[in-house]
Amino acid sequence: MNALIYLASQSPRRRQLLDQLGVTHELLLPGPEEDAEGLEALVAGEVPEDYVRRATANKLGAALLRRQARGLPERPILCSDTTVALGGDILGKPADAEEALAMLQRLSGRTHQVLTAVSLAWMEGQSPKQAQALSISRVRFAAIPEAWLRRYVASGEPMGKAGAYAIQSQLAGWIAEIEGSYSGIMGLPLFETAGLLRQAGLDI
């Protein structure tokens, strides 16, 4: 089967990574009537791995309903969610510049985890199937000067990004060590994603 799927994500980085795999995809994005941010809401006491798995499963469920409501052709649907964890604390998308700066100050000079879950739904004959994979990477920042962090926050780059940074941004100059999946830190781990697509019978 040719790799033609729906991607339920607004992230240009995930589109770029799917292009790298040679996977043809169409966007299946939330409409204005949907509470997309609510799908990523934190639950008190939830550990980072459980959170990112649940958020991704929620996104997939919403995408399946969206495809059905819009009467779109049946195709596999791919969803992903990324979170940053420092110890047991989940560092999501900052609400404002002040929160972004506080997150980056905490990450400076320390090692944190980046967790990305990927979920795929497809039809196998007449049977609906779903599968999920998880990528966990570790990133160590050198100590970053306060003045530099303030300039980075003022650039607007941290907004809308888990942990208030993007690994492909200028902040990469302060990353001392990475253990794990670079593409997973970007937002779509290619090894795990390719495995899910092959499980669904797609030729990539």
Q: What is the mean pLDDT of the chain?
A: 93
DSSP 157: T
Mean predicted confidence (pLDDT) in 152-163 = 94
Q: What share of the chain is helix, strand, coil (3-state, %, to 5)?
A: 40, 30, 35
- Where residue 3 falls among pLDDT bands split at 50, 70, 90? low
Q: Is the dihedral of CA 179, 175, 9, 194 positive or negative?
A: negative
Confidence check: pLDDT of 1 > 60:
no
Please write the tens of the pLDDT for every residue from 13-60.
999 999 999 999 999 998 888 777 777 777 778 999 999 999 999 999
The catalytic residue positions are 81
Measured between alpha carbons, how far is 178 from 69 in angstroms, rounded to an integer?
42
- Give the per-residue SS3 of 3-36: CEEEECCCCHHHHHHHHHHCCEEEECCCCCCCCC
Strands 24-27 and 89-91: unpaired
Q: CB pairs under 8 A, 24+ apart, for 72-77?
A: 72/6, 72/28, 74/123, 75/4, 75/5, 75/6, 75/26, 75/122, 76/5, 76/6, 76/120, 76/121, 76/122, 76/197, 76/200, 76/202, 77/5, 77/6, 77/8, 77/28, 77/120, 77/121, 77/122
| Domain edges within the chain | 4-199
13: closest CA among 171, 203, 189?
Answer: 189
Q: Which CATH class is domain 4-199?
A: alpha beta
Q: Is the dihedral of CA 22, 24, 26, 28 positive or negative?
A: negative
Whether 157 and 165 have beta carbons less than 8 Å apart is answered as: yes
pLDDT at 45: 85
The pTM assigned to this predicted structure is: 0.92
**In this structure, what token pair is assigned to residue 154?**
């003022």
Whether 58 and 110 have beta carbons less than 8 Å apart is answered as: no
Chain Cα centroid distance, residue 141 = 20
